[in-house]
Structure 1
Amino acid sequence: MGYAVHRLTRSELRAVESEFEGMVHRFKIASERDLMAKGGKGKSKKSEGGKKDRQPERRSSPREPSKEMVAESGSTSAFDDEGEDAGFERDLEEAERLLEQEEKMRKEEEKAAAARKKVFGGAGNDDTDIDKAEEEEDDEDDEYEESEDFSVDSDVAEEVSAHKNQDLLDAMGETGIDSMPPQMVINPHFPTAYPAGRGRTGDLELFHLPIIYKSHQTGFEPTKDLVLTPGSVFAGQYLVQNELGSAAFSTAYRCIDLNSGQIDEDGEEYHEEVCLKVIKNTKDFFDQSLDEIKVLELLRQTNKCHENNIVEMRTFFYHREHLVIVTELLRQNLYEFGKFIVENDEPPYFTRKRLCYITQQVLVALDFIHKRGLVHSDVKPENILLASYSRARVKLIDFGSSCYLTDRQSSYIQSRSYRAPEVILGLPYDGKIDIWSLGCVIAEMYTGEVTFQNDSVVTMLSRIEAICGTFPRHLIATGRQSGQFFTGSGLLYERSDAHDDSGRHSDDEDEVEHGGGEPLFHVFQPKVTTLAARLGFRPDLMEKAKVMQEYKEKALFVDFIRCLLTIDPDLRPTPKEALRHPWILSGMKLTEKDVKYPPE
């Protein structure tokens, strides 16, 4: 277990908080005195021009608990017990010292951030393939962003939309609707709606949902549960082979597209295998899957899904009261394949070299979707599928939870073990939540264990603190949901339920023993370790790497995971920055032989 749990009543918890705050305060004062002793005079002198030093405004440091937070937690401050006059004078001096220290810390953080940015952007290889690809991508993204920067009256916008769409309708009248690309087909009854993926932010868009049904027949299906039988033909086109797997709101099937017949070099006809994702028949799942179709259609229209490691949607339709999404057929996901490797005692697959190659591909995929204003929101091993086992090629799938940065943000996203700190605390978030999830995934694939093993959100937070360090106080102070997990002084806690660990109800005697029926709280004390140790290396790996060359490659790997698992999202890298990390750049030199599986 990566933490210790202390069971306290409310009054005991308040006493612990008060003592904790006093301890932090005394530690800060002692540290400041040590700094002053080492650095000489701690206060600035009067200037030669005779101007007095400006007295700092009395305010609390961002890293200190505010008075409001202390009041909410019911704790007493270490400042409250001092004498009025002497206490005020001393508090003023202490505030000045704290502000000076805070300024020093802020400058150190800025230097660290600048150094990190230098690491991410300091490769200097202007002639690499990734630089060229990024320059081309940036040019396209500039065009995409320019198309979004406008604001006009809604009536004028509809009139302009109708005019543009009428031009398309006129073109269809001249050339025939059959000659138009499917995504360009306009419904004449909705002239103000753009084709899917063609509108700008705020425009109306429209896509056509094919509904396949039996002629001259109405009525409901006998059951809401649709099970495809191997050997049957679904929707008159897809020969069912077998079920691939089932998730919360869909079931996937391997099928042969009978309408995709092509002739190979030997003159024989072959058909494409595809994946049918059959959505369960509920309104919520239906609506969520329509959102996924919108996103997949937007990505498909770029014609760059394959090169950016995104699953390619073939089509979609509605049949037998179920929405169906058809995509290319891929192989097993990272979780299933890793499990298969272990159970069958196969050679290790997720080596650092192969993981570097896989991580690079996922970062390219995330960079591609983030530049289009999208957040995947559910990066996990099950949603990264292998396209080729032997060549370690992967693709990112499942955009059912994806959202736009302009959408109303929800805290009920991401699978719990891969959920970013800012989502848990109820802070604003962006694409960097995907980066946190990816860090969890890569560490898990390397160790074979979930990185932050947990049975609740608070136990996961405790493990995060044990491995990645304490949560910055400003994140706790501004998070809408921080109070559910942190006390005002930054202690992790959760309220105990009415059952003890054995599952039985506490009796009256227990309640008296624990404070006469007061509610009980579990306070979590993280057992601090290092990320290197969590990844299976020696705890002092990073220090050893400074003096011994043999540890440097391992240290680069650990540092990369550390960057992705940075608690503060402002200091966490973007996909483009992560692609510049030395560990990823080292993978640019990998050959097919380096990643080939099984190894020769």
Structure 2
Amino acid sequence: MEMERVTGLTMDWRPRKKPRLGWDVGPEAPKAQLGFFCGQEIGNVTSYAPSSTEYASSLFVKGLAQNGSPPRREDDKEGHYVFELGENLTSRYKIHSKMGEGTFGQVLECWDREKEEMVAIKIVRGIKKYRDAAMIEVEVLQQLGRHDKSGNRCVQIRNWFDYRNHICIVFEKLGPSLYDFLRKNNYRPFSIDLVREIGRQLLECIAFMHDLSLIHTDLKPENILLVSPEYKRVPNHKGSSRSSKDASYYKRIPKSSAIKVIDFGSTTYERKNQTYIISTRHYRAPEVILGLGWSYPCDIWSVGCILVELCSGEALFQTHENLEHLAMMERVLGSLPHHILKRADRQAEKYVRRGRLDWPEGAPSRDSVKAVLELPRLQNLIMQHVDHSAGDLIHLLQGLLRYDPSERLSAREALEHPFFTRDHLRRS
């Protein structure tokens, strides 16, 4: 596996510029993790599934159109469902391919005979704690679906069922995650106009969730999917000195900017006393690291980190240790306020000494100190990658990445920021 990511109170390690699995979750997380990889490509413009007629025909030709159940097999030693491609998952779904695997179970691409479309089915491990967490997840997804009937914001749950002691959750099939798109594009940043469109939709989704008293808690590029897998290839002007035969000469641009948010397995209701850690480290708010609990502004911090990553091509805080993470924040954003640091809980108070962050004295290594010193200030980082709208974006990010959660912009306040509204005025 390309990386190890354990959520809960344990280490979160993610090597620099390596594929990251949006569906990986630790066994101690209080709720199941949801998510799946979508991003298989064929040629320059991709389509995940053939037409219903073509696919039904291919099944018939291959002799796979039988609706019988596969033989019963024992789960593997970790409780994962054991299957073979081409088998049925109930009489309605036929397994086409494996899309991903995580601690929660597996995600399969399946043909829905009833709707005549490809779907993504999450098959949860046949272990009680994962089954219980999956049912909580289903409840959240259904609540989101009831209030988002148009399906424009969040991934849509199509169905769920209990099959041979495995909770199976059926989702609409979407395109690749923003992270997967970045990776396959050699980590080339998105254009500022595309970042604006994605940021607007993401904030609309978060505003919608917060209105329902829900906190996502694990926003990251892996959990934001492009609705369409289609893209176009255009010359990469920054690499124009290279030969047009060189793959790096071209970059990919999504044909559509439409996105949907996934992974609601860690979603929770607003609770001030909630202190367990769920989110992937890179997008974790400072108050979470300091043990001050979860609130709506935690999602807003994650949005700020995501926007920077889309503009630069790299995660804003590449770290796997709490004190180093806080030191990186200070390097990029300025000193943490004393009133925030002094509220750190017992586990986090070791990061504070004499009213300030214990850095660099408490650094785990010289390499850690060096990594922090190499980071640019936020303004300089954005100016390196953004040609126009840089001033508006910097001002927006300063509002999204305020240390004090009570001073951080809300999702709806952020949507009224000139970074979004000035673009609207230009078009009108």
Same-fold call, TM cutoff 0.5: yes
**Kept in 2: contact 1:492–1:524 (CA 8 A):** no
| Count of residue pairs brought into register by the alignment | 332
Letter in 1 for 2:91: G
**Kept in 2: contact 1:491–1:523 (CA 8 A):** no
* Pairwise CA distance, 1:349: 6.6
Pick closer, same or farther for the CA change 1:496–1:582 going to 2, 3 Å. closer
293, 315, 336: which one aligns with 2:159: 315
Quick one: distance in 1 between partners of 2:389 and 2:366? 44
Quick one: distance in 2 between partners of 1:476 and 1:328? 43
* Pairwise CA distance, 1:305: 5.3
1:486 aligns with 2:341: no
What RMSD in Å do the two structures reach over aligned CA positions?
Answer: 3.2
Letter in 1 for 2:300: I
99, 120, 127: which one aligns with 1:275: 120
Quick one: distance in 1 between partners of 2:171 and 2:217? 20
Partner of 2:144: 299
**Kept in 2: contact 1:563–1:573 (CA 8 A):** yes
The alignment's TM-score, normalised by the length of structure 1, stands at: 0.51
* Pairwise CA distance, 1:303: 4.3
More helix by share: 1
Pick closer, same or farther for the CA change 1:332–1:251 going to 2, 3 Å. same
1:532 aligns with 2:376: no
Partner of 2:286: 421
1:257 aligns with 2:112: yes
Q: Give structure 1 stretches of 5+ with no counterpart.
A: 1-212, 261-270, 503-521, 542-550, 592-600
288, 294, 298: which one aligns with 2:133: 288
User: In the TM superposition, what whole-angstrom CA distance separates every residue of 1:195-220 from its partner, at most 9, and x where no partner exists?
Assistant: xxxxxxxxxxxxxxxxxx98xx9996
Pick closer, same or farther for the CA change 1:476–1:573 going to 2, 3 Å. same
Partner of 1:450, secondary structure, is: coil
392, 400, 404: which one aligns with 2:257: 392
* Pairwise CA distance, 1:245: 2.0
Alignment of 1:7-406 (within 5 A): 221=75, 224-260=79-115, 271-304=116-149, 306-307=151-152, 309-342=153-186, 350-388=190-228, 389-406=254-271
Partner of 1:395, secondary structure, is: strand
Of stretches 242-251 and 555-564 in structure 1, the one that deviates more from structure 2 is 242-251
Partner of 1:311, secondary structure, is: coil
Quick one: distance in 2 between partners of 1:314 and 1:230? 22
399, 402, 406: which one aligns with 1:566: 402
**Kept in 1: contact 2:271–2:294 (CA 8 A):** no
Of stretches 329-338 and 399-408 in structure 1, the one that deviates more from structure 2 is 399-408
**Kept in 2: contact 1:288–1:401 (CA 8 A):** no
User: In the TM superposition, what whole-angstrom CA distance separates every residue of 1:432-482 from its partner, at most 9, and x where no partner exists?
Assistant: 101101111111121111101113111111110000111110011122144
**Kept in 2: contact 1:447–1:536 (CA 8 A):** no
Partner of 1:537, secondary structure, is: helix
Pick closer, same or farther for the CA change 1:580–1:327 going to 2, 3 Å. same
1:576 aligns with 2:421: no
**Kept in 1: contact 2:155–2:171 (CA 8 A):** yes
* Pairwise CA distance, 1:338: 1.0
Partner of 1:301, secondary structure, is: helix
* Pairwise CA distance, 1:278: 1.3
Partner of 1:168: none
Q: Which structure has the greater CA radius of gyration?
A: 1
Quick one: distance in 1 between partners of 2:172 and 2:426? 27
* Pairwise CA distance, 1:312: 0.8
Partner of 1:9: none
Partner of 1:478, secondary structure, is: coil
* Pairwise CA distance, 1:255: 1.2
**Kept in 2: contact 1:419–1:433 (CA 8 A):** yes
Partner of 1:556: 392
Pick closer, same or farther for the CA change 1:525–1:386 going to 2, 3 Å. closer
Partner of 2:130, secondary structure, is: helix
* Pairwise CA distance, 1:565: 1.3
User: In the TM superposition, what whole-angstrom CA distance separates every residue of 1:103-137 from its partner, at most 9, and x where no partner exists?
Assistant: xxxxxxxxxxxxxxxxxxxxxxxxxxxxxxxxxxx
Pick closer, same or farther for the CA change 1:300–1:590 going to 2, 3 Å. farther
The alignment's TM-score, normalised by the length of structure 2, stands at: 0.70
* Pairwise CA distance, 1:535: 2.9
**Kept in 1: contact 2:382–2:390 (CA 8 A):** no
Letter in 1 for 2:378: L
